[in-house]
């Protein structure tokens, strides 16, 4: 089997760094290209500069250079709100986005640039990581920094589907920093896990998201699927090991 060259954006993020490590561990299947803005942060988060390309995903020329020769793209980048200042007692914190790093900039326009470059480069598969909650325009996350982050993410998902490139859109639940491989992974659609009588937790270890990314690149029936993903509580059910069966439960389209 030929080794698949994969470009990963957001590679120095908390989830991205785990995904890169998991892909590196499967060197017989994948060659990883980590697309980052900071060499120092890449060294810190990834442990080495192996396969690291420095660039800006908002810059088409930079993206074209990074994506050359790749067969797959994993989009793990996301805008991140920052707290304006510590809140006073009893007050909610206020957030903002750094200049040029708003959800419209990063979660939509930059992703459009990535997808357009992928089309031009003949990329065979894009795995895009988003967030649950996109069906509700009044979701709390949209209020952070007045950024409408879930709305922009949803538009980028539709842009990917319309591009014609085979896609896997993974909308993650509430990310937690716990070991992966210990929980049953559950997939759904249209934020059904938020329905009160669904009795489903919304937690998802970052390591399990990273594993879903790796398996989506490996399993043919993960292609042209979009789904929400959470996990059951540890010990509540056997951990997921059959990812072909998991992806068989997913469906195409937003």
pLDDT in tens, 61-76: 999 999 999 999 999 9
Q: How far is CA 9 from the centre of its chain?
A: 9
Active site residues: 131
pLDDT digits (tens, 9 = 90+) for 64-114: 999 999 999 999 999 999 988 776 677 778 899 999 999 999 999 999 999
Domain extent listing, the chain: 4-248
CATH fold of 4-248: Rossmann fold (3.40.50)
pTM score of the predicted model: 0.93
pLDDT digits (tens, 9 = 90+) for 23-60: 999 999 999 999 999 999 999 999 989 999 999 999 99
Rounded CA-CA distance 196/13 in Å is 31
Do 80 and 91 contact (CB within 8 A), yes or no? no
């Amino acid at each position: 089997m030929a080794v698949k060259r994969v470009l990963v954006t957001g590679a120095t993020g908390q989830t991205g760094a785990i995904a890169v490590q998991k892909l590196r561990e499967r060197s017989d299947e994948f060659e990883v290209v980590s697309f980052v803005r900071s060499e120092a942060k890449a060294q810190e988060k990834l442990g080495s500069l192996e396969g690291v390309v420095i660039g800006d995903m908002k810059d088409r020329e930079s993206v074209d250079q990074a994506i050359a020769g790749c067969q797959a793209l994993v989009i793990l980048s996301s805008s991140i709100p920052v707290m304006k200042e510590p809140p006073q007692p009893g007050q909610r914190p206020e957030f903002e986005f750094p200049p040029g790093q708003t959800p419209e900039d990063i979660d939509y326009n930059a992703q459009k640039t990535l997808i357009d470059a992928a089309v031009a480069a003949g990329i065979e598969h894009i795995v895009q990581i988003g967030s649950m909650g996109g069906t509700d325009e009044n979701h709390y996350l949209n209020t952070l920094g007045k950024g409408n982050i879930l709305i922009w993410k949803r538009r980028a998902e539709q842009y990917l589907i319309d591009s014609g490139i085979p896609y896997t859109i993974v909308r993650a639940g509430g990310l937690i920093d716990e070991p992966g491989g210990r929980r049953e992974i559950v997939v759904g659609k249209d934020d059904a896990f938020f329905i009160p009588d669904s009795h489903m937790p919304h937690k998802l270890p970052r390591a399990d998201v990273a594993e879903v990314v790796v398996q989506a690149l490996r399993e043919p029936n993960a292609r042209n699927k979009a789904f929400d993903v959470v996990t059951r509580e540890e010990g509540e059910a056997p951990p997921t090991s059959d990812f072909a069966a998991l992806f068989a439960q997913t469906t195409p389209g937003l």
